Each structure stands twice: as structure tokens, then as C-alpha cells.
Amino acid sequence: MEKGTVRPFQFGTEIHQKAIELRLEILRKPLGLAFSDEFLEKEKNDWHVGYFDSKGDLLGCLILTPVEDQTQLKMRQVAVKKSVQGQGIGSDLVRFSELFAIEKGIQTIVLNARATAVSFYLQLGYNCEGEPFEEVGIPHRKMTKQLRS
């Protein structure tokens, strides 16, 4: 597959709508869940990052939410289109986000990983913290990475 590009995009745009559709397909529908308007409204002040192919189509996305007095970012809603999973897109999105965070003076990225994705984050240098817990009805682990600027 031809290499695509990773870049931030704005809340409330056509691309944001595409990202919501992708997240719905990849993260919510398999669990029998949808997004509430209230849930989506809360991501207004977050950073949104997308992976685009050479035609500009969105293949993957994630959200970065500032937490803890702006020293940490929570990475969430990481989703890659099913037909192109396992080709490095998720890794590119995470690595871009780490550089983006460092530029903003962020020291730590935190996330709640689905148990099925823990090995993906371990490969990218994230460490598990605490005990497994349940979120959206499935097991998760808290994971963190200290960034070096």
C-alpha cells in the first residue's frame, strides 16, 4: 500500500464526520453501541488526528484529550479501517501523536487499552499500570508512556 499522511483535523468538519463514522464501525458497532450527541460534544476541545491515503480518504484516526493540568494527554478512540489494519497505520498515528505532544510540552500519554490491543501499545513503548478493568463492557488496561523531549 502506498504510504499515506498523518495530520490533525478540526472538530465539526466533514473529515470529523468521516472519523465518527469510522469509529462507529470499528469501535462501537461490534459492541452493539452507538455515540450519544453528548459524548461527541465533549470532544470539541480535543485534538483529532487522521491518517489519509494519497486520495485524501481517511483510513485511521485517534483523539488526544488534555488531562492533569495540560501535562498529560489521553489517547483514545484509536481506530483503523478494517481492510487496512496490520499495515502500520495505527503505529504511524501513535508516533505522530507523540511528536505532536512533545511539541506542546506534554510529558506523558495515558490511555485505556482494550485487552486485545495491549500488545499493539506494548510494541510502541507503552507500559501497563494497575489491574485490568471493564469499560464499554470489555476488559481494558491502563497504559502510559513517558515522552522524552
Ligand X SMILES: CC(C)(COP(=O)(O)OP(=O)(O)OC[C@H]1O[C@@H](n2cnc3c(N)ncnc32)[C@H](O)[C@@H]1OP(=O)(O)O)[C@@H](O)C(=O)NCCC(=O)NCCS
By CB under 6 A, name the binding residues for ligand X. 26-27, 78-80, 85-91, 113-114, 116-117, 119-120, 123
For ligand X, give the closer residue by CB, 15 or 79.
79
Q: Please say which residue, 33 or 105, places its beta carbon nearer to ligand X.
A: 33
Is the Cβ of residue 91 or residue 146 nearer to ligand X in the bound state?
Answer: 91
* Cβ 144 to ligand X shortest distance, Å: 14
Which residue spans within the chain are E strands per DSSP?
5-9, 47-52, 58-67, 72-80, 108-114, 127-135, 138-146
Long-range contacts formed by 25-32: CB under 8 A, 24+ apart: 25/79, 25/81, 25/82, 26/79, 26/80, 26/81, 26/82, 27/77, 27/79, 31/136, 31/137, 31/138
Task: Tell me the closest approach of the beta carbon of residue 41 to ligand X, in angstroms.
Answer: 21
Q: Where are the alpha helices (DSSP H) in 24-71?
A: 37-41
Q: How far is the CB of 52 from ligand X (least distance, A)?
A: 14
User: Which C-beta is closer to ligand X: that of 12 or that of 129?
Assistant: 129
CB nearest ligand X: which residue? 90
Shortest CB 86 distance to ligand X, Å: 5
